[in-house]
Structure 1
């Protein structure tokens, strides 16, 4: 594994014509070369030495930036790193053009094997939740606990609001969509994404909205942006059709790691009703439901999600959370309903 620390303008080392990737205060980016892929890894130095490692995996169309708020709130609990999956964030496309769910999981496994950080506290959102489920199932030695925020696991009855995203997997749809939306500004696109992914889009600060627009402008300049989106969506849909030991729900049943499941009541992409099935499938699970959250609870309600993870960690380590720490909870381990307020 080769690792290169990226300066404050990291994208210049990959695509000189593309704008800067945002780095939050206290974070670092580095480029890691692995067989067949190069991953950008976002890290936040832990508050003290010796904290257990954590790895965060984003969803379709997202990036490691999606985890910055949660990473900040857990910097006294875990040693956090978040990856940009191949073709997303600041990671270039994979050498073989493979964006299947298995390929994304393989990239995460290769990084964990090469870095020697496992077993980690593994976090995944949406597509990253499906990827993390597969990693935990096939390589239990690499996963200490599993936290899934709206994991993209197969649904028999898909919500109508999720259909357009799934249609990206259909040949020709992406080309049609890009033609129909070629005059849309980055600001219009971001507003659409927020309406789809947030339970309460008004919670996004003006600064956060501005940063999102800048990131959208940067990513739209990438020549492989739509290809990565389309092929990853197709890879996820294809994974839904697999049977036997490769079926995602079958793999969920194989996960040994203690698991925290986080679902939003206003999620328009992953059905809220799936939380019950997930709680049954993962053998050692806890359920955290946030009625007002959408698809990215770790961005909308990072304090609540951080508290849920602290409770999981306290239970696993056999101790009570420190009530003096911000976001500390009671650690009941029972299904929890929280309005997120």
Structure 2
């Protein structure tokens, strides 16, 4: 399968700029489509009740297991594209825009507490006719994945939690900033998105300037819904119900955490490990809050090794 790279992306953008008078948004869409295609993915939308849900899935299905990927707060399905490119030859991948995020519907009054988002995700998975799956989640998506595995154990083959939210025994730089009335996760003005990328990731991916600008515009446009969602989930780490629920988990769980995470302190990983029976914890040096973006090949390999005993198709 053809895999995209920073060099091929630069060549593609140069070609677009030289051959047409494209707007920055056109360049953005071209680049995103190129990344998705190179990963073996394509975009679709499904109606789930009152919601339109956007998601990525394999361009070509195969006989492998299904993998569902759950992004974090204020993120979207394309956070998984580069890692998914390591998986689509063997698995049927679904990267979903949760309600309130990405290209999905964004009702202000839907309810975005973690347990509510688990219910929303369960409806989406049912609409996609997915019966069993491996699930991976990052940050807020990691907390949702942990709760989902505990709530619907019969559906989950394995779960991987990348830098999950949900337990805050150790505060972080983000915690201190939020307490001071500042939230770098919610861009509100030009320059904020680059600051967010720098804050969230130690190993930052290559993002050409036209794409970065459009990403910032989208993030600023989502400020209002992001504030609603953050308010709904901000106290999850102080909620004992979360820990009581994930203690019921019966499925195999791998916890992966970047030690340079400034959003969620990696030392909380030990408390996840203690709470989830039989779970494993792997710490990554020199990686920040989003391992699947910062080190997609290694992240995919960790999943492949962990999931192998539990897969329907074993090489």
TM range (shorter): 0.7 to 0.9
Shift of 1:310: 0.7
Structure 1: how far apart are the matches of 2:179 and 2:253? Answer: 27
1:310 lines up with 2:315 in the alignment: no
Structure 1: how far apart are the matches of 2:178 and 2:171? Answer: 11
Structure 1 vs Structure 2 CA RMSD: 2.6
2:195 counterpart residue number = 192
Q: Deviations over 1:101-157 (max 9, x none)?
A: 222111110011222212111110001111111111111122111011000022133
SS in 1 for 2:286: coil
Residues 22-61 of structure 1 mapped to structure 2, 5 A cutoff: 22-23=32-33, 24-25=36-37, 26-46=40-60, 49-61=62-74
TM-aligned CA distance change 1:316 to 1:272, over 3 Å: same
TM-score, normalising length from structure 1? Answer: 0.75
Q: Deviations over 1:143-190 (max 9, x none)?
A: 11101100002213311334335777xxxx78xx99xx86x42xx223
Residues 297-336 of structure 1 mapped to structure 2, 5 A cutoff: 297-317=291-311
1:338 counterpart residue number = none
Residues 121-132 of structure 1 mapped to structure 2, 5 A cutoff: 121-132=134-145
2:276 counterpart residue number = 282
User: Any gaps of 5 or more consecutive residues in structure 2?
Assistant: 1-24
- Alpha carbons 1:41, 1:82 under 8 Å: kept: yes
1:5 counterpart residue number = none
- Alpha carbons 1:266, 1:293 under 8 Å: kept: yes
- Alpha carbons 1:44, 1:71 under 8 Å: kept: no
Structure 2: how far apart are the matches of 1:216 and 1:102? Answer: 29
TM-aligned CA distance change 1:297 to 1:94, over 3 Å: same
User: Any gaps of 5 or more consecutive residues in structure 1?
Assistant: 1-17, 323-341
Task: Name the structure, 1 or 2, with higher relative contact order (CA <8 Å, separation 6+).
Answer: 2
1:7 counterpart residue number = none
